[in-house]
Amino acid sequence: MKRNSIIPYRADLKLKARELRNNSTLSEVLLWQEIKDKKLLGYQFHRQVPMLDYIVDFYCHELRLAIEVDGDSHDHKISYDIMRQKELEAYDVRFLRFDDIDVKKKIMYVLTEITLYIQDSKIKQ
């Protein structure tokens, strides 16, 4: 599978993704401000991206990297999140997960972790 290939998704998820973009959480907005417009090492991220039967918070096609911000709603969906992640990993998607509170209070830590992941993945190529 080529690096920038589109992962198939259900067409009905486009509308839901748009709705999620229009109703982002504070932590999603804060992280988006830091990674949009190729601000992070020149990589283009998109938010609320439909993939298979799911929507990921942020995705970089070039890196095949999904970033998830886990808030309180994820506390009751741990097994769902694990299944979802495994299905997407079968398409060579890699995940970074951050707690909502870390994005709000430790944004530099979050950005450093993402940067280190990108730098490490570039070395492995």
- Write down the pLDDT at residue 75: 56
Domain that holds residue 31: 13-124
Instruction: Answer whether residue 28 is part of any domain.
Output: yes
Residue written as token pair 């430790």: 106
- Write down the pLDDT at residue 122: 77
The domain that contains 36 carries what CATH number? Answer: 3.40.960.10
List the pLDDT tens digit at each of the 125 positions of the chain. 455 677 999 999 999 999 999 999 999 999 999 999 999 999 999 999 999 999 999 999 999 999 999 987 655 678 888 999 999 999 999 999 999 999 999 999 999 999 999 999 877 76
Specify the pTM.
0.90
User: What is the distance between the alpha carbons of residues 49 and 52, in angstroms, rounded to a whole number?
Assistant: 10
Instruction: Answer whether residue 3 is part of any domain.
Output: no
User: How many domains would you assign to the chain?
Assistant: 1
- Write down the pLDDT at residue 36: 97
